Amino acid sequence: MRDIWIAAAQFEARDADKDYNFGRIHELAAQAAGQGAEIVSFHECSITGYTFLETLSPAELRALAEPVPDGPSTRRLAELARRLGVALLAGLVECEAERLYNAYVAVSPQGFVARHRKLHPFIHPAISPGDSLEPFELCGIRCGTLICYDNNLPENPRVLALGGAEVIFAPHVTCGLPSAMPGRGKIDRRLWDNRQRDPVPLRMEFEGPKGRGWLMHWLPTRAYENGVYYVFSNAVGVDHDTIKTGNAMIIDAMGEIIAESHTLGDDMVLGLCTPDKIEQSGGRRYLRARRPELYGKLVEPHPPGHSARVDPGWRLL
């Protein structure tokens, strides 16, 4: 690890409009680079749009998908990274042979670096789960990626931390969804549309249990318990039939927020990540204190007739 400035971005993507979404990626990445960022991270499926994917037929979903790293969007992202002189991370729907994946791509000014396929997809039955938790080197630091629901299982960031990850990128499209948890639920579209005239009601929703309040239940914990930096990016504004809350933030290895967006719209935040926080963190001591001989239950297979199942809370209501 070395001192490095990293940016987390948020923007209102347009469904299936890759050109528009690349325009927002370009503008926000250029803004971050101008302020000294070496890495800029965008949200889940930021190139394609996300929630609307559930409305597509398998054929329509396949028509939107691209190969990685040889597809046009990955090449376009790498070219943008080269021109701006920064590393970029963004999401799209990937196709490989007959399979489709929710993928997140990392590129540097030198070209393609890595991709992560979401381990726990649920937005469309035609999207296959990824099967790998692999850290990668980017700009001289050891990184990992977990897409949205992947972060809800504490085993996933723990595996990345044990693999040497120092920074975990956590691209999301989340918040503003129905839930049995107190105060959760959808955000009224009218509040978003009226945000310039009366921003206070929308800000209360973004900061409360429908947005930031829920994130604070678990997100800093993932950084703290593993002694890693967490870079959280999220969509903001209209996403199909929901309003997303942004809340882009960077959390240090102590679980403290070092940069955070409170903007009711497109934005990016920049944070300095330093090795001393990792070396001093409780999470790194906890990794050394582990007793793997006691953890056999964690890797036992599911009983016969059962398999891994992703149940988003909003689908259970």
The β-bridge partners of 112 are 107
Residue 196 is predicted with a pLDDT of: 97
Helix (H, G, I), strand (E, B) or coil at 7: strand
Residue 55 is predicted with a pLDDT of: 97
How is residue 86 written in tokens? 């920064």
Residue 99 is predicted with a pLDDT of: 98
Residue type, position 1, single letter: M
Domains of the chain as residue ranges with CATH: 4-316 (3.60.110.10)
DSSP of 70-127: TSHHHHHHHHHHHHHTSEEEEEEEEEETTEEEEEEEEEETTEEEEEEE-SS--S-TTB
Residue 216 is predicted with a pLDDT of: 98
What is the Cα–Cα distance from 257 to 298, expressed in whole angstroms? 30
Q: Which residue stretches of the chain have pLDDT < 50? A: none
Residue 53 is predicted with a pLDDT of: 98
Residue 36 is predicted with a pLDDT of: 98
Find all residues with CB under 8 Å of 22, minimum gap 6, and list them. Answer: 47, 73, 76, 77, 80
Crossing angle between the packed helical segments 155-162 and 219-226, to the nearest 10 degrees? 30
Residue 308 is predicted with a pLDDT of: 86
Report which secondary-structure segment, H or E, holds 267.
strand 267-273
Residue 303 is predicted with a pLDDT of: 86
Residue 70 is predicted with a pLDDT of: 97
Phi then psi dihedrals of residue 257, to 5 deg = -80, 120
DSSP of 52-74: GGGGS-HHHHHHH-B-TTTSHHH
Crossing angle between the packed helical segments 18-34 and 72-84, to the nearest 10 degrees? 20
Question: Tens of pLDDT along 277-317?
Answer: 999 999 999 999 999 999 999 999 888 888 888 988 777 77
